[in-house]
Amino acid sequence: MAQFRLSHAEVAVLSYLLGSPAPQRQVHIAAATGVTQARVSQIMAIADTRGWTERCAEGWRVLRPRAVFDHLVTARPPRVTTVEAWYSLDNGPRQIELALERAAAQRVSLHVCGDWAADRIAPWRIPEIVVLHADARLELDEAGFVPVDTDPSDASLVVTIGKSPPGWRLDAALAAAMGGLQAQVWPLAPVIEVARHMLIGNKPDAAEAVAELEERFLSARAELERAA
């Protein structure tokens, strides 16, 4: 398909709509993404002309989810203020649990991205480094983490920091349909962000892992649409 350079607002709106198995009204899309209703209207009009979306009685829905997924996964990422790297001797799940505990104590919104998120909803390869996204700086020293100020590849956990809108998460119904109860233990990032982080580093099996995630996601999404 033809390639389009999407703005941050377009990525936010289309990612949210892709991750919503039910049609969404314009006012709900705006509230979930932090994009104005006027801008949402413009974005949906353009997406409609490209054949990506359609408007039905209940609101807007994605008409070609595979095409939208494939385009978004290579689109520009959300704005990130900074990236912080940490090291811990604990295993990946324990590091995530500790980070979530510290985030709750500091009132920071935190979501699991990358391989560890994918392992909950579409396991394909053994997860290594933990990737998280926070909406504010996260202090992990008290949880036994050591900041990594040298090569980020030496880190066991990486936190990308940037403002995230209210709807920036994997839909609970989709998570359950993809991975069952284990997918609901941690707050997971939107599927597009999970896939994007999986591709970072150009590992030889990254494309296959993302393809597995995409198929599981699209299958679960279609199942929920049929059940609605």
With cut-offs at 50, 70 and 90, classify the pLDDT of residue 4: low
List pLDDT tens digits, range 133-167: 999 999 999 999 999 987 777 899 999 999 989 99
Short-list 203, 181, 73, 183, CA closest to 127: 203
Short-list 188, 173, 138, 195, CA closest to 11: 195
Predicted TM-score (pTM) of this structure? 0.91
The three-state secondary structure class of 200 is coil
List pLDDT tens digits, range 190-200: 999 999 999 88
**Joined tokens for residue 18:** 């892709």
List pLDDT tens digits, range 24-83: 999 999 999 999 999 999 999 999 999 999 999 999 999 999 999 999 998 877 777 789
Alpha carbon separation from 224 to 23, 66, 171 (Å, rounded):
12, 16, 11
| φ, ψ of residue 169 in degrees (nearest 5) | -170, 165
- For residues 204 and 199, give the distance between their C-alpha atoms in angstroms, rounded to a whole number: 10
